[in-house]
């Protein structure tokens, strides 16, 4: 009986630890953009499609960059300087065809020069077939 319990525990441990990774490879388009987690929807306009390549390269707003995906974070850096992070996002995979990116943007205030206002954006992306 003890062996059956140990076997059952091992099966649970291995099934929990073997999570399948979601692949970012391919072209993605933005569906939705929210500002400050409110219901304030911003029209995406003519946002270019983001294209992830197999060798950690990404075309982001017509710039070739390298990306690194670790846990729930997505980091972008220029191809020439891969150690200098240019953009960082919190990534949340909804399924294999959709994910959310959350990021912070600092905008200089018009009334007070050299002061910045932080705005949190959340965007939803879907895979282009």
Residue 19 lies in a domain: no
pLDDT tens, 19-64? 446 678 899 998 888 887 666 676 666 666 789 988 899 998 888 9
Nearest alpha-carbon partner for 47 in 30, 70, 60, 33: 30
pLDDT band at 17 (very low <50, low <70, confident <90, very high): very low
Q: Is 14 helix (H, G, I), strand (E, B) or coil?
A: helix
pLDDT at position 18: 37
Cα(121)–Cα(112) distance, rounded to whole angstroms? Answer: 22
Residue 94 lies in a domain: yes
Domain count, the chain: 1
Q: Using an 8 Å Cβ cutoff, are 67 and 78 in contact?
A: no
CATH number of the domain to which 122 belongs: 2.40.128
Residue 71 lies in a domain: yes
In which domain, by residue range, is 68 found? 25-127
Model pTM score = 0.70
């Amino acid at each position: 009986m003890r062996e059956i319990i140990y076997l059952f525990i091992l099966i649970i441990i291995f099934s929990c630890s073997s999570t399948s990774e979601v692949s970012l490879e391919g072209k993605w388009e933005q569906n939705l953009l929210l500002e400050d987690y409110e219901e304030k929807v911003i029209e995406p306009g003519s946002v270019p499609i983001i294209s992830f390549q197999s060798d950690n390269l990404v075309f982001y707003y017509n710039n070739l960059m390298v990306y690194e995906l670790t846990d729930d974070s997505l980091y972008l850096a220029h191809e020439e300087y891969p150690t200098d992070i240019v953009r960082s996002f919190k990534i949340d995979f909804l399924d294999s065809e959709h994910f959310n990116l959350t990021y912070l943007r600092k905008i200089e205030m018009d009334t007070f020069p050299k002061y910045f206002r932080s705005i949190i954006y959340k965007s939803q992306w879907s895979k282009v077939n």
